[in-house]
């Protein structure tokens, strides 16, 4: 196949893709992030902790907050304990454990600024630490407020992509298609899609990825309310022109998708990316509809569970096929 395959790819690699051409594995992970690791540079300089906190799952984010809260209070409890419980009023001095428990709760009452006053500092040192702890507590919750807001106000497209792409009949020929749909109650308008592909070829026996941009049939859409089936027609100007089912299976291909839209709630542009590799392309299939009119409510129902539903179909014979 190698010789015939090379002849099929007639385009020049003029795409400035931004990826190394000799990387292995996917270029774009399915979640849309580039498959790249960084080294060198101190880890603290390499991580934007704000980006990190925004990308955490809600469960992990809350767990981190709780753990931080406990650890901070344990530290301050220890400090108060070392200063001496005689500098706090209302401590249960029956035994050291009870003393530590009481200073721990005093710490938490200070950190959260609840300050019941049943336990209160007397004397310079304990008061000074409490003064500092209350200040720290307020700043910590100031940061937490910012993180919460940053997390939930972060503009996201909330698009679900079909798990597979299909090679389906289209007009007189066939096309690569996949589909996507907004799955949340956001309102996206003015969407467009940019499609490119990486195809691995052997150059003097060494695998090398070439990048091509793919034309999309009607690449813009006014309102992204229903599903959107993205269509790349496989014509003479497509790098997949003449590809057989086996070519799609045996070549390392990666389809890289970038969708951009305007979210009316955030009043902001949102971007989501995904990718399809050879194993995720079904040859000779077409998607089945995933929406239908609802006569009772005079509305349209979009059934998101059907996003991956397709049926096998024959492809028309194409010219330019390698026999």
Site for a copy of itself, residues 92 to 151, rule: CB under 8 A: 92, 101, 105, 108-110, 112-118, 120-122, 124, 127-128, 130-131, 134-135, 137-139, 141-146, 148-150
Restricting to residues 272-291, name those near a copy of itself by CB under 8 A: 273, 291
Record the tokens describing residue 5, joined without a space: 């395959």
What 3-state DSSP class applies to 124?
helix
CA distance 152 to 156: 10
CA distance 73 to 71: 5
> CB within 8 A of 6, min separation 6: which ones?
201
152 binds a copy of itself (CB under 8 A): yes
Stretch in the footprint of a copy of itself (CB under 8 A) among 164-172, 242-250, 260-268, 278-286: 260-268
Restricting to residues 46-65, name those near a copy of itself by CB under 8 A: 46-52, 54-55, 65
Record the tokens describing residue 241, joined without a space: 């022109």
- Rounded to an integer, what is the distance from CA 10 to the centroid of its chain? 34
Tokens 């890289």 belong to residue: 256
In the complex, least distance from residue 225 CB atom to a copy of itself, rounded to whole angstroms: 3
In the complex, least distance from residue 237 CB atom to a copy of itself, rounded to whole angstroms: 19
> Which of 7, 94, 185, 204 is the binder for a copy of itself (CB under 8 A)?
185
Residue 130 or 176 having the CB closest to a copy of itself: 130
Residue 177 or 315 having the CB closest to a copy of itself: 177
Residue 269 or 311 having the CB closest to a copy of itself: 269
Contact indicator for 284, 315 with CB cutoff of 8 Å: yes
CA distance 41 to 101: 43
Other CB atoms within 10 Å distance of the CB of residue 29: 14
Contact indicator for 300, 226 with CB cutoff of 8 Å: yes
Tell me the angle at which helices 124-153 and 58-83 cross, rounded to the nearest 10 degrees. 180
Restricting to residues 68-87, name those near a copy of itself by CB under 8 A: 69, 73
Q: Which residues pair with 294 in a beta bridge?
A: 299
Residue 5 or 105 having the CB closest to a copy of itself: 105
Restricting to residues 159-178, name those near a copy of itself by CB under 8 A: 160
Restricting to residues 3-42, name those near a copy of itself by CB under 8 A: 15-20, 22-26, 28, 32-41
Residue 60 or 316 having the CB closest to a copy of itself: 60
């Amino acid at each position: 196949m190698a010789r015939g395959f090379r002849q099929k790819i007639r385009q020049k690699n003029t795409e400035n893709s931004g990826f190394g051409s000799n990387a292995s594995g996917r270029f774009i992970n399915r979640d849309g992030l580039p498959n790249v690791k960084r080294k060198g540079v101190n880890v603290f300089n390499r991580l934007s902790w704000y980006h990190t906190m925004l990308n955490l799952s809600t469960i992990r984010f809350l767990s981190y907050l709780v753990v931080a809260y406990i650890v901070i209070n344990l530290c301050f409890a220890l400090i108060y304990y070392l200063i001496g419980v005689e500098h706090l009023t209302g401590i249960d001095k029956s035994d050291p454990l009870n003393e530590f428990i009481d200073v721990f709760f005093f710490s938490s009452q200070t950190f959260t600024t609840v300050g019941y006053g049943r336990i209160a500092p007397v004397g310079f040192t304990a008061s000074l630490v409490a003064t500092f702890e209350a200040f720290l507590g307020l700043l910590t919750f100031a940061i937490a407020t910012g993180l919460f807001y940053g997390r939930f106000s972060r503009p996201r497209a909330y698009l679900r992509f079909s798990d597979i792409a299909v090679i389906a009949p289209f007009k007189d020929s066939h096309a690569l298609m996949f589909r996507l749909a907004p799955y949340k109650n956001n309102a996206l308008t003015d969407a467009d899609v940019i499609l490119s592909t990486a195809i691995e070829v052997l150059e003097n026996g060494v695998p090398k990825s070439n990048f091509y941009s793919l034309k999309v049939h009607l690449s813009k859409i006014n309102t992204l309310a229903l599903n959107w089936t993205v269509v790349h027609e496989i014509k003479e100007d497509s790098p997949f022109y003449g590809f057989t089912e086996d070519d799609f299976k045996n070549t390392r291909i990666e389809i890289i998708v970038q969708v951009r839209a305007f979210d009316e709630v955030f009043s902001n542009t949102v971007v989501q990316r995904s990718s399809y590799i050879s194993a995720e392309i079904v040859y000779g299939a077409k998607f089945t509809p995933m929406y239908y009119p609802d006569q009772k409510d005079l509305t349209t129902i979009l059934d998101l569970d059907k996003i991956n539903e397709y049926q096998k179909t024959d492809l028309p014979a194409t010219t330019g096929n390698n026999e």
